[in-house]
Structure 1
């Protein structure tokens, strides 16, 4: 079941790139990111309240809060950089390079979360890195 959500995530990420490229034409990318963030904020809270998940906030620990805030900061910085890259470059180059995050996440998971790395994963990560290098210099 996880792979269905992963595929949907990839589809929505692809649509994000296309919609953003059109939407940021002549717009400050920081303003565009702020508008996008408000939409995401409204959707996320609507889902939380619809599912009744808000009650779980009381059970969050300091570590939960710290790392969720850090994740939010990283996401915000990623979006700001992504929108600026989309404004300056082609979607066909920016989006695949952005997906270099997949290889970086694998490396960071091995280093910091002590996750195991299979040969398939290592080869896949190296292919992603290689593809990104080709696109950067193409």
Structure 2
């Protein structure tokens, strides 16, 4: 198994398990507080990782444009997305919320065509249609 597939499967497993714990935690916690706790754990975890990585190798600081893009990705991908995701989990069923949240690849695909000029192929269009159909079917 190649590294790409291994890490993708580990990410899928993690994304699949996380909502169960989050839904349980949100039963008695405000979403903004939950997001704060989650961000704190993430910050602590990556800080420890970077500390040990820096001992074994050099960690380079990114350039200004990379920082701006990464910060914007954090604002949308972590702050906004996670907050709205937690609000959706607070009010909805995991089985209905997750398919909708999981439809983000369709928007990412469309934006990648606009921003990066990625090619639109028949299989990518069919895949996008199937994702939307899956969201509809799982959300029912």
Q: Give the TM-score taking structure 1 as reference length.
A: 0.90
Task: Choose from 60, 69, 74 the match for 2:71.
Answer: 69
Correspondence 1:130 to 2:130: no
Task: Choose from 1, 8, 11 the match for 1:6.
Answer: 8
Q: Equivalent residue for 1:81?
A: 84
Q: Equivalent residue for 2:112?
A: 109
Asked whether the equivalents of residues 53 and 59 of structure 2 are also in contact (C-alpha less than 8 Å), the reply is no
Offset of residue 15 of structure 1: 1.0
Q: Equivalent residue for 1:30?
A: 32
- The total of aligned residue pairs comes to 135
d(CA) in 2 for partners of 1:104, 1:37? 25
C-alpha root-mean-square deviation of aligned residues, in Å?
1.5
Q: Which runs of 4+ in 1 moved over 4 A?
A: none
Gaps of 5+ in 2: none
Gaps of 5+ in 1: none
Asked whether the equivalents of residues 93 and 135 of structure 1 are also in contact (C-alpha less than 8 Å), the reply is yes
1:52-95 deviation per Cα after TM superposition (whole angstroms, max 9, x unaligned):
267311xx211101101101101210000000100100001111
Q: Equivalent residue for 1:55?
A: 59
Offset of residue 130 of structure 1: 2.1
Bigger CA drift: 113-122 or 92-101? 113-122
d(CA) in 2 for partners of 1:77, 1:22? 21
Offset of residue 18 of structure 1: 0.6
d(CA) in 1 for partners of 2:53, 2:101? 32
